[in-house]
């Protein structure tokens, strides 16, 4: 076979990437032949020693965490379960690679496959969210939002976002976040009677303070957001508009919630909540000049090299979110949340906004005269994992709240059905009512609840391994 024909497949020239892979394959074959001829295979023990042999303590912690996840009911809104494919994609050889920069413009050599991987992740994100530009590099939700603020604002500028008590996230410019020191923050709330965003208040606050940036998107608002209405307000006061859809991104890409892409200057989302991917962030936009500023702020302005192994897992999650099965899952997430709400109502448990349009179920503990610390510790003892949350009209602090935030994402990923969520709602309601009456959970109810949870856990196993 002639030299020219080596670089052809079915008579067609190889691409440069395939050519490089073929060259390396020939080198590996040559090395293996030499090893066989020598009848000696020498491999550094560094590559052969497993975790079970090198670090028993860490392995034990990992096994215990797997047992905890497997034997409990996870209702935490910021968590989900990833597929085996996402888990495998995150644990890959790109953990060894430094790839500072962007595809085609790196600061290190050997980035040809890093470029290819990041381009795949970007293309899938753009297709999934139906947008022009995507940056897949942010390490976290906090950093993606900080990048937007640094790109669009100057110190002292005003930011407007939802009040923390009404559902805002800490990264949206609260006093607890470092950016609360750099920028002036004003907030809008919800109607105290309905628990819904009051767009008249939004407009009045915007006109009064003329913010440079309006942030829309929450950590605990269970209702649909009117992106068009916020766009009108932003245009009136000449403000940038940022949508943080971290909690509902998976519902948006499936068409079960309206998309902000065509109405906002920038959209951000984490990838580990309803998107069912690894922990990380994502920045989206349809405006090229603005997106270039954002990307320059992510790197080199805010963080250094991307975590390429995490980007691999993001790419897999983006592909999974395009499948029919994912939409079925997302639809079940909403149906299961609504089922829990109705069950709580039958037990006379108050629900913030009296319902839900997404995966969130916000319980109001005020009328029960309970605090989160009383409730979450007892639920933990019964193998039900939840988290506290401040709610509208809450008279308590963020450390001791009157709210309990539940989500159906993780358990729906596990396979639980509507009747299972109704059963869980009954368990929680029984515990809340007993704490109200007795200031504790009796041993019989605690034992009964544990057995019911373990029964559900056994019915819907988590098939991971350490």
pTM, entire model: 0.88
* Main-chain phi, psi angles of 348, to 5 degrees: 65, 35
**Claim to verify: residue 187 and residue 301 sit in the same structural domain:** yes
Q: How confident is the model at residue 3 (pLDDT cuts 50, 70, 90)?
A: very low
Residue 427 sits in which domain range? 326-453
**Claim to verify: residue 27 and residue 150 sit in the same structural domain:** no
How many whole angstroms separate alpha carbon 204 and alpha carbon 165? 19
Q: Where are the beta strands (DSSP E) in 396-451?
A: 403-407
The radius of gyration of the chain's CA atoms, rounded to the nearest angstrom, is 25
Residue 2, pLDDT score = 46
**Claim to verify: residue 144 and residue 196 sit in the same structural domain:** yes
Does residue 391 fall inside a structural domain? Answer: yes
Q: What is the CATH number of the domain that holds 437?
A: 3.90.1150.10
**Claim to verify: residue 302 and residue 431 sit in the same structural domain:** no
How many whole angstroms separate alpha carbon 285 and alpha carbon 298? 14
**Claim to verify: residue 170 and residue 234 sit in the same structural domain:** yes
How many whole angstroms separate alpha carbon 134 and alpha carbon 118? 11
% pLDDT > 70, the chain:
89
198 closest CA partner among 190, 186, 209: 190
Judged against a pLDDT cut of 60, whether residue 55 lies above it is answered with: yes
81 has binding-site annotation: no
Hey, what long-range contacts does 111-120 have (CB within 8 A, 24 or more apart)? 112/17, 112/20, 114/308, 116/17, 117/308, 117/311, 117/312, 117/315, 118/306, 118/308, 118/311, 120/315
Q: What is the CATH number of the domain that holds 305?
A: 3.40.640.10
Residue 35, pLDDT score = 58
**Claim to verify: residue 332 and residue 311 sit in the same structural domain:** no
* Final residue belonging to a domain, choices 279, 298, 320: 320
Number of domains in the chain: 3
Does residue 57 fall inside a structural domain? Answer: no
Q: Name the β-bridge partners of 282.
A: 269
Q: What is the pLDDT of residues 242-258, one digit of tens each?
A: 999 999 999 999 999 99
* Main-chain phi, psi angles of 415, to 5 degrees: 120, 0
Q: Please tell me which residue, 117 or 20, carries the higher pLDDT value.
A: 117
Question: Counting beta carbons within 10 angstroms of the beta carbon of residue 140, is it exposed (0 to 12), middle (13 to 18) or buried (19 or more)?
Answer: middle
**Claim to verify: residue 229 and residue 136 sit in the same structural domain:** yes
Which residues 6+ apart lie within 8 Å of 50 measured at CB?
none
Residue 372, pLDDT score = 82
How many whole angstroms separate alpha carbon 145 and alpha carbon 147? 5
Does residue 71 fall inside a structural domain? Answer: no
302 closest CA partner among 114, 171, 142: 142
CA 181 to chain centre: 26
Torsion angle, alpha carbons of 360, 363, 364, 370, to 10: -140
268 closest CA partner among 288, 248, 292: 248
Residue 419, pLDDT score = 98
Does residue 308 fall inside a structural domain? Answer: yes
Q: For the residues 106-123, what does the mean pLDDT come to?
A: 96
Does residue 462 fall inside a structural domain? Answer: no
Tokens of 168: 């805002």
Judged against a pLDDT cut of 70, whether residue 39 lies above it is answered with: no
* Final residue belonging to a domain, choices 296, 320, 344: 320
**Claim to verify: residue 350 and residue 302 sit in the same structural domain:** no
Residue 154, pLDDT score = 93
How many whole angstroms separate alpha carbon 224 and alpha carbon 216? 12
**Claim to verify: residue 415 and residue 373 sit in the same structural domain:** yes
Q: For the residues 347-358, what does the mean pLDDT come to?
A: 96
Q: Where are the beta strands (DSSP E) in 25-152?
A: 73-74, 101-102, 105-106, 133-135
Q: What is the pLDDT of residues 411-434, one digit of tens each?
A: 999 999 999 999 999 999 999 999
**281 DSSP 8-state letter:** E
Q: For the residues 327-336, what does the mean pLDDT come to?
A: 98
* Final residue belonging to a domain, choices 266, 292, 320: 320
Does residue 204 fall inside a structural domain? Answer: yes
Does residue 66 fall inside a structural domain? Answer: no
How many whole angstroms separate alpha carbon 82 and alpha carbon 125? 17
**Claim to verify: residue 331 and residue 303 sit in the same structural domain:** no
Residue 167, pLDDT score = 43
**Claim to verify: residue 278 and residue 360 sit in the same structural domain:** no
**Claim to verify: residue 25 and residue 153 sit in the same structural domain:** no
Count, in order, helices (H) and strands (E) of the chain: 18, 17
Does residue 52 fall inside a structural domain? Answer: no
Q: From residue 321, give the alpha-carbon distance in Å to each of 112, 273, 311, 314.
A: 26, 12, 15, 11
Q: Where are the beta strands (DSSP E) in 142-246?
A: 158-162, 184-188, 213-216, 240-244
Tokens of 109: 């050599």
């Amino acid at each position: 076979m002639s030299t020219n024909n080596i670089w052809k497949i079915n008579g067609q020239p190889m691409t440069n990437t395939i050519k490089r892979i073929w060259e390396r394959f020939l080198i590996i074959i040559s090395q293996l032949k030499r090893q066989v001829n020598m009848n000696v295979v020498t491999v550094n023990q560094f590559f052969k020693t497993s975790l079970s042999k090198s670090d028993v303590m860490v392995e034990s912690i990992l096994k215990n965490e797997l047992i905890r996840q497997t034997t409990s009911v996870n209702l935490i809104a910021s968590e989900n379960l990833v597929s085996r494919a996402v888990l495998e994609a995150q644990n890959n050889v790109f953990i060894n690679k430094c790839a500072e920069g962007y595809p085609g413009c790196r600061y290190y050599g050997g980035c040809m496959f890093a470029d290819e991987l990041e381009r795949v992740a970007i293309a899938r994100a753009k297709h999934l969210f139906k947008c022009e530009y995507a940056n897949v590099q942010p390490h976290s939700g906090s950093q993606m939002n900080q990048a937007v603020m640094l790109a669009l604002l100057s110190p002292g500028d005003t930011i407007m976002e939802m009040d923390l008590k009404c559902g805002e996230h800490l990264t949206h410019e609260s006093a607890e976040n470092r950016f609360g020191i750099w920028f002036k923050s004003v907030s809008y709330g919800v109607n105290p009677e309905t628990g819904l965003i009051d767009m008249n208040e939004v407009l009045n606050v915007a006109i009064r303070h003329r913010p440079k940036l309006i942030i829309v998107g929450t950590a605990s608002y269970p209702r649909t957001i009117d992106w068009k209405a916020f766009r009108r307000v932003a245009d009136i006061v000449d403000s940038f508009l940022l949508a943080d859809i971290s909690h509902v991104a998976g519902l948006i890409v499936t068409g079960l919630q309206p998309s902000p892409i065509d109405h906002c200057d920038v959209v951000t989302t984490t990838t580990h909540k309803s998107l069912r991917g690894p922990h990380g962030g994502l920045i989206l936009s349809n405006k090229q000049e603005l997106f270039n500023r954002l990307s320059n702020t992510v790197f080199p302005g805010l963080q250094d090299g991307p975590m390429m192994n995490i980007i691999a897992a993001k790419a897999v999650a983006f592909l999974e979110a395009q499948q029919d099965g994912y939409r079925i899952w997302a639809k079940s997430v909403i149906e299961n949340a609504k089922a829990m709400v109705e069950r709580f109502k039958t037990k006379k448990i108050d629900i913030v906004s009296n319902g839900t349009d997404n995966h969130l179920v916000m319980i109001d503990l005020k009328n029960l005269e309970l605090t989160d610390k009383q409730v979450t510790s007892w639920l933990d003892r019964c193998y039900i994992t939840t988290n506290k949350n401040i709610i509208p009209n809450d008279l308590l602090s963020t450390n001791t709240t009157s709210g309990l935030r539940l989500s159906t994402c993780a358990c729906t990923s596990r396979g639980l059905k509507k009747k299972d969520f109704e059963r869980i709602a009954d368990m929680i309601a029984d515990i809340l009512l007993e704490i109200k009456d007795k200031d504790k959970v009796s041993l019989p109810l605690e034992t009964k609840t544990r057995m019911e949870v373990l029964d559900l856990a056994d019915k819907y196993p988590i098939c991971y391994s350490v």
